[in-house]
Structure formats: structure tokens, C-alpha cells
Amino acid sequence: MPTRRPATAAEAKALGHPLRLRILRLCGTGELTNKQLADHLDRDPGTVLHHVRVLVGAGLLEPAPVRTGDSGALEKPYRSTGVSWWLDGPLVGAPEEYAPIQAFQEELAATGPGSIRHASRFVLHLSADDLEELDRRILAVLDDYITTDHTRRAHPAHGGMFILHQL
């Protein structure tokens, strides 16, 4: 299993924009061309290409093998490298630290309320040690699923976000 590591400056910058986070999510479920991404995101292909290039430059996306599209033209798809999951808190303290929440809100808006499979709100009183233990245990469960996700590619993709904030 890969280990967590601090994000480089380029990785942190790339992860600081909600559209780039949505591109990563889409390319994590399949190889997509710039045009396919633009269509999924309802954005201009030029804008999407700029963000794709930032993600490729940071090593978070990579070109997949060129393929022939439905019209016979050659297509250049991209896929996630999976590196972003293993970055330890790349946005903590960054001015764009709310980009993941904005990206998640946009994804929920695009899929609609019927897409929600589970939601829980809670309040916990935690010491510093309790907080560290909770983080460790939740990440361990998610890490196990992330590292074995390739074995479940035939099943529907589910996105999620775990946020713990101090009240």
C-alpha cells in the first residue's frame, strides 16, 4: 500500500481549484478526452484543457494510450494517476482550501439529491488523542477500499467526502 506524503507545491496548487478536482474525479472512474471532460462539466474545452495541463504537469493526471473514436478520429484520453489520494493534507492552510467542498457541491448539484446513498451529521467531543485516532481509523478504512478499488471497476462508482471541523 502506498504511504501518505506531503504535497509538492505544484500538487497543492493543482488541487486548489474545484474544476481540477472534478476533472480528477471523472478521470479516476475512466479514461476521458478533453472534449468528453468539457461535455461532462459543461465547460469550454479550452478552459478544461488548461486545467488538464496543470494536473498533468503536477503528475496527478497522465495521458492514456491514444485511441480511435466513434468517428474514426484519434482521441487523446487522460486518466488519474491516483497520487492525489496519498497526499497528506495538501490544502491545509492554503487560501483555496475550500476547493474540495465546492467541487463536491458541484458534483452533488450535477447528480441530484437522488444520488445520495448515505448522509450523517454528528457532533463528537474529542481530545487531541481521540481526534488523531478517529482520523487514523477512518483513513485506514478508506485506504483499504482505495487500494482494492481496481477489483471493483465493474460496479457503479460512488463519490464521497468526509469532513471533520471544529465547532
The 10s digit of each residue's pLDDT in 89-108 is 666 555 555 788 888 888 88
Kindly list the structural domains of the chain, giving each domain's residue range(s) and its CATH number in brackets, ordered by start.
Answer: 9-116 (1.10.10.10)
Question: According to the model, what pLDDT value does residue 152 have?
Answer: 94
3-state secondary structure of 95: coil
Task: Write out pLDDT tens, residues 112-121.
Answer: 889 998 888 8
Residue located via cell numbers 479516476: 28
**Per-residue pLDDT tens digits for 21-66:** 999 999 999 999 999 999 999 999 999 999 999 999 999 999 999 9
Mean pLDDT of 133-155: 93
C-alpha separations of 155 from 63, 120, 151 in Å: 24, 24, 9
What's the whole-number average pLDDT of the chain? 89
Q: Give the containing element (helix H, strand E) for 145.
A: helix 128-147
Query: Cα–chain-centroid distance for residue 34?
Result: 17
Contact 100, 91 (CB under 8 A): yes
Residue in the structure block whose three cell numbers are 478536482: 21
